[in-house]
Amino acid sequence: MIFGIFRRRDDSSIRSVYEQIVAQARQPYFYTDLQVPDTVEGRFEMIVLHAFLVFHRLRNQGKEAQDFSQGVFDLFFQDMDQSMREMGIGDEGVRRRIRAMTESFYGRSSSYAEGLSSGNRSILAQSLLKNIYGGAQEVIAADRLVDYMQHSLDVLGELSEDEIRKGRVAFAAPDTLAGKKQ
In this predicted model, what pLDDT tens digit does every residue of 45-73 receive, in sequence order?
Answer: 999 999 999 999 999 999 999 999 999 99
| Average pLDDT over every residue of 20-38 | 95
pLDDT at 181 over 50: no
Q: For the chain, what is the radius of gyration of the CA atoms? A: 17
Task: Look at residue 177 in the predicted model and tell me its pLDDT.
Answer: 64
CB-facing half-sphere around the CA of 75: CA atoms within 13 A: 22
Domain boundaries, the chain: 11-173
Categorize the per-residue pLDDT at 84 as very low, low, confident or very high, splitting at 50, 70 and 90: confident
pLDDT at 81 over 90: no
Percent of the chain with pLDDT over 70: 91
Q: Is 9 left (phi over 0), alpha (psi -120 to 50) or beta?
A: beta
Question: 108 near 129, Cβ under 8 Å?
Answer: no
Question: Distance between CA 121 and CA 119 in Å, rounded?
Answer: 6
Question: Distance between CA 163 and CA 170 in Å, rounded?
Answer: 10
Task: Look at residue 178 in the predicted model and tell me its pLDDT.
Answer: 53
| Average pLDDT over every residue of 99-120 | 92
Four-CA torsion 84, 88, 93, 98, nearest 10 degrees = 10
